[in-house]
């Protein structure tokens, strides 16, 4: 196997890692991912994406939820049945509904706030196991 890393900035990589410079969800980046996969599926989608914070809570939360949707779209496009998702998310408007949608597409979904996270931080982590494919009832 190998790892595909997507980042807008240059990053250091190991030997089996392919790096795509750009933003996750951009059509050019998605095309490059598809080329690298050559029809294969992923075992894991891991997202540490976070929006640039503006200080306006409603705007920042909307941006964070957009990034969560980008990660979910990656699952729908490339995650193998039985695959997993791990994502950094932010508590606020839209997260509960987004997690409820995950529960229709994965066997097991857990949301947690690590003890190491600052108490005032809205950052949480969502781990979803056992992708069951796109739920057409949501479309």
Which residues are part of the catalytic machinery? 88
Q: Could you tell me the end-to-end alpha-carbon distance of the chain, in angstroms, rounded to an integer?
A: 32
């Amino acid at each position: 196997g190998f790892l595909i890393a997507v980042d807008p900035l240059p990053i250091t990589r190991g030997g089996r890692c392919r790096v795509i410079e750009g933003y996750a969800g951009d059509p050019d980046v998605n095309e490059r991912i598809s080329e690298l996969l050559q029809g294969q599926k992923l075992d894991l989608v891991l997202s540490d994406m976070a929006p640039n914070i503006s200080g306006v809570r409603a705007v920042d939360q909307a941006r964070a939820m957009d990034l969560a949707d980008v990660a979910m779209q990656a699952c729908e496009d490339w995650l193998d049945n039985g695959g997993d998702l791990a994502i950094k998310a932010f508590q606020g408007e839209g997260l509960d509904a987004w997690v409820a949608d995950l529960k229709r597409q994965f066997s097991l979904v857990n949301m947690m706030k690590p003890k190491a996270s600052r108490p005032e931080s809205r950052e949480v982590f969502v781990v979803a196991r056992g992708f069951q494919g796109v739920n057409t009832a949501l479309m």
